[in-house]
Structure 1
Amino acid sequence: MPSPLIWRAIWAVAIAVIVAVLAFVAVPYFASNRIVRDRIAWEMSAWSGFRVTIDGTPEIEIWPQFRAILTGVTLSNWSDDKAPPVMQADRVEIDLSAMSALRGDVVFSGVRLVKPVFRVEPAAHGLFLPPMPSGGRVARAIDAARELVKAKPDKPDTGKLASEGFGTVEFQDGKVIAAIDGTDTDMLTNLSGQLDWSALNAAGSLTASGVWRGETVAVEAASPGPMLLFAGAAAPVTLSLKAAPANFSFDGTGNLSGQSFFDGQAKFTAPSLRRALQWLEAGIAPGAARGPVSITSKVSGDTGRIKFDKTEIDLDKTPGMGALDLSFVDPMPMISGTLAFDTVDLAAFLSAFTSPTASSGTDLDVIDMSFADRFNLDLRLSAAHATAGRIQLADVAATAQVKNGLAVFDISDATAFGGNIQTSLRIDRRPEGTQVEMKLLASDVNGADFTAAAGMTRLTPTGTGTVSLILKGPGKSWNSILQNADGSVSATFGPGNLTGLNLPAFLKRNEEGGFFALDDVSNGTLPIDGAELKATISKGVARIDRAEAKSAQTKIWLSGIVPYAGRGLALSGGVNQPKPAATPAPQPAPAQPATGTQPIPGAQPAPTQNGQPVSVTPTPAGQTTTSATPPPPAPTPPVNNGNQATFFVGGTWTTPFVSPIIRRNAGE
């Protein structure tokens, strides 16, 4: 027979089982009649600070987790009955404490939101944030934390922070919406994630993913002191955003007060700069921007200003460094700073601002100035080496400025072609249309290298020279600007060669008559002492005022017009070469007496003057007078103006042809 001790144990187990069974049976009763009906909506409102309404009939599940299932849950602002809901969810699952439920209390250990819709509004600094509640436990805890921060801003007493338990909030298949131009617009879709915050004075973390602008974005954020962040105190925080077009990370300190101050290390990477710019809608035309980009920098600032110090940039495997400053104080954001590169592609940089799309019917890009509506810019660039299309530059100092619809891109100093280059591009958007001004000054440059980079292959001087170009015109595309531009061009070159011209072959073909292609006589060079060009440009037509190449024996000149539209040529020219020096005509011999005539004995010799015979005329009183007898005039040597061959140059820039006009000898 069992001992009394065994019997007491059996009775204890039986009583425990009975109590458990009774509790299991009683929990749904208490939950459905006391908790759900009277307490859950109130408890959610007490935590959030919003008015909570539940449309559907609550359900209670006991196994495997004691929880309440709510449908048609809405959170609204207490102060505005007509305002749209702050949050709506088709279904809300709340994990509850069973023992607390038996006592009539509600203790949440977790909340799961199914298909929630969160509403955000634009804040004063431009970011979209959810509406703030007017009360609630979380709001009151933040207010108390603010008082602690005010008392000791540098080191608030964290031991006095609210310690109430919070739990876990999960959300799945949700979205974020905002009213834009009076219409609800999806900001973020397919939103799923989890907020882990065990207690208000404990560490917290957030993981979430959703679709933003057509790309899936994963977000992770964590802080050991979220309550301090909300209260306006500095606290450590980490943040990362990952998406296919771009990734971003931050590790430092910050706060979530009105100014949202932050200070730490940030990194931005993108496998394609073009795709990242398009996805971020940065207001910078992607143009020719290609390749990966990586930016690492120390970042500090607030919603009014962000500073990037010790910035390291790797743009398409081109490293650089510098400092940037972003200001949001004025209505138009301002970007300023300095960047230094070892090598930079200036054409790609410029195209990011001016050539987003191709103009139909033209072979050049439309000038887009929409970026001038989004930000102002004051950027200094320097590079040990740079490229601008086919042009190679060194020791480059450049600026890019954008303000009030005016964009100016200057290269104030650069070495190229053995000399110095200065250039400027000014794009001025006016009510009557866009005006563009271009300037170029190339000093002491190698003519062969300069003309080759400019794409010129015919009649190019190789000496050292200076080139100046000024163009200004209206238009929406580069093509239309060049077709309507006004300006001037001038160039002077010293001793060297004139390439692309076989002068003997040219003169021979010109003498034979009939037109011929300039390419047929381009296999030669001509030594020259110098060359000069001056031309004025009006409405896209260049009128050559002076174009000469000279040597001791030859002068080649051109004049006429060269229109940009149609790329045609209408030039006349000539080649002057001297004749061999003429032989002087022989002087006539002195006059001799006639054959057979003998001098008269006793007669005086015939008088002479300066070696020439003179006549004697008797005069009264035995006086005589003399006068010289002029010799026959000698032939006058012809003026030696040389041979001249004149011609006409027509055709196009790429296929010029030559047609003789006349060939004559000067003086004939």
Structure 2
Amino acid sequence: MRRIGLGFAAVAAALAAAVLILPWLIPEHAVREAVRREIVALTGREPVIAGRVRLSLAPLPAVTVENITIPGLDGMPPLLQADSIEGTLRLSSLLAGRIDVSSLALETPRFALVATKDGRHSWDFKTGVLADAAAGHSEEALPVKSMRLINGTVAYSDAISGKSTVVTLRDATVNWSSLADAMSVSGVVDWRHRSTDVSISIADPSALISGGQSDLRLKMRGDMLNLNASGNLSGGGKFDGRLAAGGKSLREALRWLGLDLPEGHSLAAFNVQSPISIDANGIALSDVQLELDGNEAEGSMTVQLAEPRPKISGTLAADTLDLTPYSSEVQLATGLPRRWRSDRINLKGLVVSDLDLRISAGEMIVGKVHFGRTAAAVSTHDGLLDIALGEALTYGGTLKGRVTLKADDGGTEFAASGNFEAVELGKALGDFIGFHKLDGTGSGTFVISASGASVADLSRSMQGQATITVADGALIGIDLPDLMHKIEKRPLSARFESSYGGRTAFEKAHASFKITGGVANTRDCDLDNGNLSVQLAGNSNIASRSLDMAGIANWADGDGAEPFKLPFRVHGEWDGPLVEPDTNALLRRSGAAAPLFHDYVQPGQDASGSVAPIPAAATTP
């Protein structure tokens, strides 16, 4: 045992002596030459070593080279610059008098990947192991099996497309034993101020370098995007495989990828899975399974990248589509009483990309508004948003229409047109604009346009026309037959408010409006229900969300007597309009008050009870 212990002590002493003595026995120029030889063997390029070269054997044999540069092609920046490179040496080779590097650690490396207009690339090699791999020779071993990159950067620029980017390598490792073996890359990278864990596996990197194909696996994990991709990658850059990606916010992920989208709460949590094909022209997703903002849809999509602005095209279908997160961002009116929004309309997102998307849904929800089967097309180009609603089943009827928004120097140009048939107006008007004073089955058309910087500006500049027809409906909030019956018997004692809260049923109603300067005028608004008929004229001020209308209600008992006529006014806010009788007419109906009133009768009036024509409503906005 004592002899064995002495043997181990002798070996330990010999190793310690080697650690202390060998760095002094191997001259620096020999180490420098060994490092130069390894780089030339790999790249075929002559490096420039401007700093010191040091050899150490503890804790492991290693060589450190300071300030090293590997040149690029003629006229290009250096392919690589590093503050220092530390190479781990093979001890067996070192004891035999050779310097063989098994792995490298590059401190603050700076790679410059440059593609010129004439088709040259800074990573093209004419000689060396990498050049042999490009020529299809895969039998050679690599001089370095593993490379670690610490706090480095990879700068890429393409003179043809004008695109450039910089990726920071916080800590990444490349393992590649030989040209015939697989390559793996893993580590933490920073891009556009976000950190991502990346793992890449390439089954046959030598085939890729020579222009062939290889299986590829890619995983990314970060706070912006989680992504898994697997498939076949060709040396020309074409990838065919399968993609699964997701994240907490699609909006933020797209902003991170370079699309200049405005702030917002929609386009949030997302997940997408699909077969994928990527080439120089763009990305094709042939069988998309998409989850976004709680919605699920399927279809196909393409992203064309050949033009300066991406173009997204596709077709998506969903059982249920809830657009409430998007409608809240385009809310038109706020507050109580409600007023049109006065902040500037932001159409910044329309110039980010071109869009051509076809959407269908079995059910579509926008806040309180519910649609049945719906087909729509959404497109954007040159700052124009075009939404075409092919057909939507809603509130028992159908709705078709088109809305366009276009950004211009002064603000926004707006246009809308459409028609609806057999729609339950009571619920529809209540859900759309909070108006609960009309019920019935309605049909109509509308064509409007406006321009301005805000929704309030649009309301003041609105032009167009609209028509509406209502069948089997009712005015909610007042019982005109009951009121007129009371007034006919006792004109002065009947209280107008006594009929509030009731309903005035009618068989049919019709109105047409001409919109000028934000004011909708009508001269032919009427409703009829046998004994009762009503005519209205006046305006609805869209800008101030108010009514100013005058009308006559005609009541006939059916016994051949002269119909009883009651003039009245409708005015006030949309949310709560007031209906008031013409008090002068009530006085004229009263036999006791008529003689007193006679001296004050104005021209055109008759104290016997007949009334003047419907007074014109104010038209000033």
Residue 453 (structure 1) aligns with: 431
Asked if structure 2 preserves the Cα contact closer than 8 Å seen for 1:287 and 1:348, the reply is: no
Q: Secondary structure at the match of 2:450?
A: strand
Residue 313 (structure 2) aligns with: 336
Does 2:422 align with 1:501? Answer: no
Alignment partner of 1:73 out of 68, 73, 96 = 68
Residue 402 (structure 2) aligns with: 424
Offset, 1:28: 1.8
Mapped partners of 1:554, 1:532: distance in 2: 15
Q: Secondary structure at the match of 2:574?
A: coil
Q: Out of 206-215 and 431-440, give the one that drifted further.
A: 431-440
Does 2:118 align with 1:140? Answer: no
Residue 144 (structure 2) aligns with: 166
Change (3 A) 1:531 1:362: closer
**Gap regions ≥5 residues in structure 1:** 1-6, 149-159, 583-639
Asked if structure 2 preserves the Cα contact closer than 8 Å seen for 1:461 and 1:498, the reply is: yes
Change (3 A) 1:173 1:108: same
Q: What per-residue deviation string (whole Å, max 9, x for no partner) do you get for residues 451-475 of structure 1? A: 222234443032x220222221112
Q: Secondary structure at the match of 1:39?
A: helix
Mapped partners of 2:388, 2:350: distance in 1: 17
Residue 91 (structure 1) aligns with: 84
Residue 534 (structure 2) aligns with: 556
Offset, 1:106: 4.1
Asked if structure 1 preserves the Cα contact closer than 8 Å seen for 2:414 and 2:451, the reply is: yes
TM-score w.r.t. the length of structure 1 is 0.76
Change (3 A) 1:191 1:512: farther
Residue 596 (structure 2) aligns with: none
Does 2:601 align with 1:657? Answer: no
Instruction: Spell out the pairing of 1:307-322 with structure 2 (5 A cutoff).
Output: 307-322=284-299
Change (3 A) 1:521 1:479: farther
Change (3 A) 1:554 1:288: farther
Residue 614 (structure 1) aligns with: none
Change (3 A) 1:185 1:444: closer
Change (3 A) 1:79 1:362: farther
TM-score w.r.t. the length of structure 2 is 0.81
Offset, 1:525: 1.0
Mapped partners of 1:479, 1:232: distance in 2: 60
Residue 270 (structure 1) aligns with: 247
Residue 204 (structure 1) aligns with: 183
Offset, 1:379: 1.2
Mapped partners of 1:105, 1:641: distance in 2: 124
Mapped partners of 2:509, 2:340: distance in 1: 35
Residue 358 (structure 2) aligns with: 380
Mapped partners of 1:406, 1:130: distance in 2: 39
Offset, 1:103: 6.5
Change (3 A) 1:355 1:525: closer
Report how many aligned residue pairs link the two structures.
Answer: 574
Change (3 A) 1:295 1:18: closer
Offset, 1:248: 0.9
Q: Secondary structure at the match of 1:142?
A: helix
Q: Which amino acid aligns with 2:135?
A: A
Asked if structure 2 preserves the Cα contact closer than 8 Å seen for 1:119 and 1:130, the reply is: no
Mapped partners of 1:315, 1:549: distance in 2: 46
Does 2:115 align with 1:115? Answer: no
Offset, 1:430: 4.9
Residue 439 (structure 1) aligns with: 417
Q: Which amino acid aligns with 1:399?
A: A
Residue 37 (structure 1) aligns with: 32
Mapped partners of 2:331, 2:124: distance in 1: 47
Residue 568 (structure 2) aligns with: 647
Does 2:446 align with 1:469? Answer: yes
Mapped partners of 1:659, 1:343: distance in 2: 45
Change (3 A) 1:443 1:580: closer
Task: Name which one, 1 or 2, has greater alpha-carbon Rg.
Answer: 1
Offset, 1:267: 0.4
Offset, 1:382: 0.8
Mapped partners of 2:42, 2:331: distance in 1: 53
Residue 57 (structure 1) aligns with: 52
Instruction: Spell out the pairing of 1:363-374 with structure 2 (5 A cutoff).
Output: 363=341, 366-374=344-352
Asked if structure 1 preserves the Cα contact closer than 8 Å seen for 2:90 and 2:101, the reply is: yes
Q: Which amino acid aligns with 1:231?
A: S
Q: What per-residue deviation string (whole Å, max 9, x for no partner) do you get for residues 406-461 of structure 1? A: 32111101111111111211123456753221123111112222222223444303
Alignment partner of 1:572 out of 524, 529, 550 = 550
Residue 221 (structure 2) aligns with: 242
| Aligned alpha-carbon RMSD (Å) | 3.9
Q: Secondary structure at the match of 2:306?
A: coil
Offset, 1:193: 1.5
Q: What per-residue deviation string (whole Å, max 9, x for no partner) do you get for residues 109-150 of structure 1? A: 0000123333455788xxxx99424445244123212xx7xx
Mapped partners of 2:461, 2:514: distance in 1: 13
Offset, 1:219: 0.5
Asked if structure 1 preserves the Cα contact closer than 8 Å seen for 2:42 and 2:143, the reply is: no
Does 2:512 align with 1:525? Answer: no
Q: Secondary structure at the match of 2:569?
A: strand
Offset, 1:299: 0.6
Does 2:587 align with 1:666? Answer: no
Alignment partner of 2:211 out of 232, 237, 251 = 232
Q: Secondary structure at the match of 1:245?
A: coil
Q: Secondary structure at the match of 2:474?
A: strand
Asked if structure 1 preserves the Cα contact closer than 8 Å seen for 2:43 and 2:131, the reply is: no
Q: Which amino acid aligns with 1:545?
A: R
Change (3 A) 1:565 1:246: same
Mapped partners of 2:216, 2:422: distance in 1: 57
Offset, 1:371: 3.7
Mapped partners of 1:305, 1:278: distance in 2: 18
Does 2:454 align with 1:485? Answer: no
Q: Secondary structure at the match of 1:529?
A: strand
Asked if structure 2 preserves the Cα contact closer than 8 Å seen for 1:425 and 1:436, the reply is: yes
**Gap regions ≥5 residues in structure 2:** 589-608, 613-621
Mapped partners of 2:170, 2:164: distance in 1: 15
Does 2:272 align with 1:295? Answer: yes
Q: Which amino acid aligns with 2:305?
A: F
Alignment partner of 2:22 out of 27, 38, 57 = 27
Q: Which amino acid aligns with 2:228?
A: S
Mapped partners of 1:119, 1:515: distance in 2: 88
Change (3 A) 1:13 1:350: closer
Mapped partners of 1:348, 1:403: distance in 2: 23
Mapped partners of 2:172, 2:70: distance in 1: 19
Residue 514 (structure 2) aligns with: 536
Residue 373 (structure 2) aligns with: 395
Change (3 A) 1:393 1:279: same
Change (3 A) 1:301 1:116: closer
Change (3 A) 1:216 1:331: closer
Asked if structure 2 preserves the Cα contact closer than 8 Å seen for 1:461 and 1:531, the reply is: no
Q: Secondary structure at the match of 1:210?
A: strand
Offset, 1:236: 0.7
Mapped partners of 1:29, 1:473: distance in 2: 86
